[in-house]
């Protein structure tokens, strides 16, 4: 017999395998990629079995469709027949079956809050559950468009100043809007996308670019340190979203003049994969085109920095992006900090993002140090070589004092991060001393 390895999709090193929220992804069969799903939805095939009709679904009816080959799921009041999607679902059939014949909104939000199911599953839409109409009101009087928002990040205070259009006295503030989500836990709020405009795009390395987006008028978006957002584009008629971590203007201002610094702009360092799904589309956008940007997500908390003495950052490739803001925050806000070290893993010298800015920062701030490690260097490279390893880590992770309070942040390709976490545990660092960035 021929010993042909079974083909799994996505390949072990594929971006599509990035686990989200600690959830594992299953290997998909060949011909079952996101692009294949998009093609199927465009083929005109009747995916609901209802020949394009939309029906009103009762709870009793929903409950009946609870089998793999007849599986309906309700998400935020809309019912989808997800049976045709089963084999394309990166989380696997079992994950979808957990919500079969029921309201899967909570389960969905736990793992895929950011996924644009409305677009992905639009050909699977069966209809709507009966819902009560909600009152839609808002503020009782008009206000000026120009809203100012001040966020004191380390205290968690947000000050919003609205100016009345007319100087009359208001008897009441108004009524919450439908889906206004006031006074409910953040995890229960829907993900909101605002349309931003591409302002500039410049090369940083041979394949990584700095994208500057401008927020719409009166919009305020402050992405907390260590968190990411989702960018959304419509690709061949389907909305696709991918996570990206905005970078701070702190290192930008080291080299870019003039920098657009006020809260209207948001910067991203994004590597363009020529054979990727999303990044080539992003790269093809013209200045002035729009990209939708979600609310921030992520579980990093700056309270992890409290009383911190040593901060170690392990970044590989674009896994550097969360470290940019972390560096800024730590060096500016944490008086107890004695040492900040970044070990930055890349394939070649040409792949290193913002090398000179990092070297300049190390020169300027004596608490900060950076080491570059290359996995595929040229023969001229005099620095460190190889992949993440016990030898590299034990030399790098030296505390400034015997019992100093330490935090290690790690981000990069999934195998890098997983291997790193394993090695850190072997070096006796505890769970509380490690923060890993995943989706």
Residues that bind ligand FAD (CB under 6 A): 9-11, 14-16, 18, 33, 228, 242-245, 268-271, 273, 275-279, 318, 321, 439
DSSP 153-211: TTTTEEEEE--BSS-PPPS--EEPPTT--TTS-GGGSPP--EEEEEEEEEESSSSEEEE
Binding-site partner at residue 347 among ligand FAD, ligand NAD, none, CB < 5 to 8 Å by type: ligand NAD
Query: 107-110 long-range CB contacts below 8 Å, 24 or more apart?
Result: 108/75, 109/187, 109/188, 110/21
Q: If 0-12 CB within 10 Å is exposed, 13-18 middle and 19+ buried, where does residue 92 land?
A: middle
The CA distances from residue 432 to 303, 310, 403, 421, 429, in Å, are 12, 14, 15, 12, 8
Binding-site partner at residue 351 among ligand FAD, ligand NAD, none, CB < 5 to 8 Å by type: ligand NAD
Instruction: Find how far residue 92's CA is from the centre of its chain.
Output: 21
By CB under 6 A, tell whether 310 contacts ligand NAD: no
By CB under 6 A, tell whether 422 contacts ligand NAD: no
Per-residue x/- track, 333-372, ligand NAD (CB under 6 A): ------------xxx---x---------------------
384-385 and 368-374: which strand pairing?
A: parallel
Minimum CB separation of residue 212 from ligand NAD in Å reads 18
Binding-site partner at residue 124 among ligand FAD, ligand NAD, none, CB < 5 to 8 Å by type: none
Task: Please say which residue, 170 or 273, places its beta carbon nearer to ligand FAD.
Answer: 273
Report the C-alpha gap between 283 and 376 in whole angstroms.
Answer: 26
Minimum CB separation of residue 335 from ligand FAD in Å reads 29
Of 51-59, 108-116, 279-287, 311-319, the window that binds ligand NAD (rule: CB under 6 A) is 311-319
Binding-site partner at residue 8 among ligand FAD, ligand NAD, none, CB < 5 to 8 Å by type: none
Query: Would you mind telling me the total number of residues written for the chain in this entry?
Result: 439
Report the C-alpha gap between 140 and 125 in whole angstroms.
Answer: 37
Minimum CB separation of residue 318 from ligand NAD in Å reads 4
Helix (H) or strand (E) holding 108: helix 105-112
By CB under 6 A, tell whether 18 contacts ligand NAD: yes
Minimum CB separation of residue 336 from ligand NAD in Å reads 26
Report the C-alpha gap between 377 and 322 in whole angstroms.
Answer: 25
> Using the rule CB under 6 A, which residue among 123, 313, 412, 429 binds ligand NAD?
412
Binding-site partner at residue 357 among ligand NAD, ligand FAD, none, CB < 5 to 8 Å by type: none
By CB under 6 A, tell whether 225 contacts ligand NAD: no
Helix (H) or strand (E) holding 425: helix 414-426
By CB under 6 A, tell whether 416 contacts ligand NAD: yes
Q: 31 with 427: CB under 8 angstroms?
A: no
């Amino acid at each position: 017999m021929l010993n042909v390895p079974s083909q799994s999709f996505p390949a072990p090193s594929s971006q599509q395998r990035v686990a989200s929220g600690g959830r594992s992804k299953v290997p998909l069969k060949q011909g079952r990629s996101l692009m294949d799903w998009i093609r199927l939805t465009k083929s005109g095939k009747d995916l609901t079995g209802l020949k394009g009709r939309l029906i009103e679904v009762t709870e009793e009816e929903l409950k009946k469709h609870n089998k793999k080959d007849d599986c309906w799921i309700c998400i935020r009041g809309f019912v989808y027949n997800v049976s045709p999607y089963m084999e394309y679902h990166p989380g696997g059939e079992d994950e979808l079956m957990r919500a079969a014949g029921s309201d899967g909104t909570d389960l969905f939000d736990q793992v895929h809050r950011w996924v644009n199911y409305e677009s992905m599953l639009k050909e699977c839409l069966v209809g709507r559950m009966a819902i009560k109409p909600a009152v839609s009101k808002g503020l009782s009087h008009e206000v000026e468009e120009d809203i100012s928002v001040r966020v004191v990040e380390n205290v968690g205070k947000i000050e919003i100043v609205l100016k009345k259009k007319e100087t009359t006295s208001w008897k009441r503030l108004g009524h919450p809007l439908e889906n206004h989500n006031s006074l409910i836990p953040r995890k229960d709020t829907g993900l909101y996308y605002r349309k931003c405009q591409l302002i500039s795009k410049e090369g940083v390395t041979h394949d990584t670019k700095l994208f500057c987006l401008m927020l719409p008028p009166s919009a305020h978006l402050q992405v907390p340190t260590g968190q990411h957002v989702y960018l959304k584009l419509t690709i061949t008629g389907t909305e696709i979203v991918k996570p990206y971590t905005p970078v701070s203007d702190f290192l930008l201002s080291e080299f870019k003049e003039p920098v657009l610094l006020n809260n209207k702009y948001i910067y991203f360092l994004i590597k363009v994969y020529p054979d990727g799904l999303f990044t080539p589309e992003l790269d093809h956008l013209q200045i002035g085109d729009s990209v939708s940007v979600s609310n921030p997500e992520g579980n990093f908390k700056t309270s992890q920095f409290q009383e911190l003495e040593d901060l170690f950052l392990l970044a590989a490739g674009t896994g550097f992006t969360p470290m940019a803001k972390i560096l800024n925050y730590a060096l500016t806000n944490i008086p107890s900090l004695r040492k900040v070290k970044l070990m930055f893993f890349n394939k070649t010298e040409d792949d290193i993002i913002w090398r000179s800015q990092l070297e300049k920062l190390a020169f300027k701030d004596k608490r900060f140090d950076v080491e570059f490690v290359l996995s595929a260097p040229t023969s001229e490279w005099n620095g460190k070589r190889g992949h993440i390893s016990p030898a590299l880590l034990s030399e790098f992770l030296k505390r400034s004092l015997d019992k100093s309070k330490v935090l290690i942040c790690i981000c990069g390709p999934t195998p890098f991060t997983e291997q790193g976490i394993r090695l850190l545990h072997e070096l006796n660092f505890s769970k509380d001393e490690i923060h890993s960035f995943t989706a």
